[in-house]
Structure 1
Amino acid sequence: MRRRRSTRPDPAPGKEILDPAVEPQVRAAGGVIWRPGERGIEVALVHRPKYRDWTFPKGKLEPGESDEAAAHREVLEETGFQCVVGRELPSVRYRDARSRVKQVRYWEMTVASGEFGVNEEVDELDWLLIEGARERLTHSHDVEVLDAFSRLATP
């Protein structure tokens, strides 16, 4: 079964959120989990039924938590994978579903251990080649992160 990218636009997109002077109201962190596959690099995408989207695992920082620690924790909570954190990727800023400015920092990650299990936030996880992931991702800001990862991952 082939899934199509959602035709829903990103919530209230606008250039004003790219202005570094605009303080993010929500800070989050996540990971681009990857592995070598037979046909090339594969990345893990998660499906969140609450939002009906395909995205990278991520979530909000807890009080006093560093961005990198939050990324590691959120990936573990959403995927069941204990990951090794690699290089930081470019962050993205966008308006969330409640029109708040959200900034998400990402790191590349590889799985050290663990297994995916359906949980309250995520009901599916798929490993896809980069091109397949680009087609599956729901939001344009996630495609930006994937493209940045792809530039770093391929010689």
Structure 2
Amino acid sequence: MSDPVLAAGCVLWRRSPSGGGLEICLVHRPRYDDWSYPKGKLKVGETPLEAALREVLEETGHHCVPGAALPTARYTAKGRPKEVSYWAAEATDGTFVPGDEVDRITWLSPSAARNRLTRLGDRVQLDAFLNSLPGA
């Protein structure tokens, strides 16, 4: 079996500007017509956390503060094993600019985000994030 493709990303969240509830950021990738978390492959010499923060900035235009590590996703993509390391990350400042890789982002309540995720396996990271919150 070949070595896995290594990638990293974040469950990016913020307090809703209108009411203080949690909102989760999902990105739309036109190439796959899917909704997922901001994530991408590691560059040479990059740690998974460095890659996750870079990908959040590149795909959403937002800076963020990383928090708890979340479960690693393991699946097959294009016939190769893939491992995606995830962190919870609170969005700070930034502005989204549509591009070729990501043409839209959306901020959704956790339940709406759970329903919008294309890959059902991505719900594991959302559930782990929600369970890590104080009072969960």
The alignment's TM-score, normalised by the length of structure 2, stands at 0.92
- Farther off after superposition, 33-42 or 136-145: 33-42
Distance 1:154 1:99 in 2: 39
Q: Following superposition, which runs of at least 4 residues in structure 1 exceed 4 angstroms of deviation?
A: none
Amino acid at match of 1:115: T
Aligned length: 133
In 1, Cα distance between equivalents of 2:97 and 2:3: 32
Aligned AA (1:149): F
Partner of 2:21: 40
Query: 1:61–1:70: 8 Å Cα contact kept in structure 2?
Result: yes
Residue 63 (structure 2) pairs with residue 63 (structure 1)? no
One-letter amino acid of the structure 2 residue matched with residue 124 of structure 1? R
1:23: Cα distance to partner?
7.0
Tell me, yes or no, if structure 1 residue 111 matches structure 2 residue 94.
no
How far did residue 42 of structure 1 move? Answer: 0.9
Unpaired stretches in structure 2, ≥5 consecutive residues? none
Q: Which moved more, 1:122-131 or 1:82-91?
A: 82-91
Identity across the alignment (%): 47
Which of the pair has more CA radius of gyration?
Answer: 1
SS class of match (1:77) = helix
Letter in 1 for 2:128: A
Q: Residues 100 and 118 (structure 1 numbering): CA distance in 2 closer, same or farther, change over 3 Å? A: same
Indicate if the aligned counterparts of 2:2 and 2:80 stay in contact, CA closer than 8 A.
no
Cα distance in structure 2, aligned partners of 1:113 and 1:23: 39
Amino acid at match of 1:25: P
- Which residue is equivalent to 1:73? 54
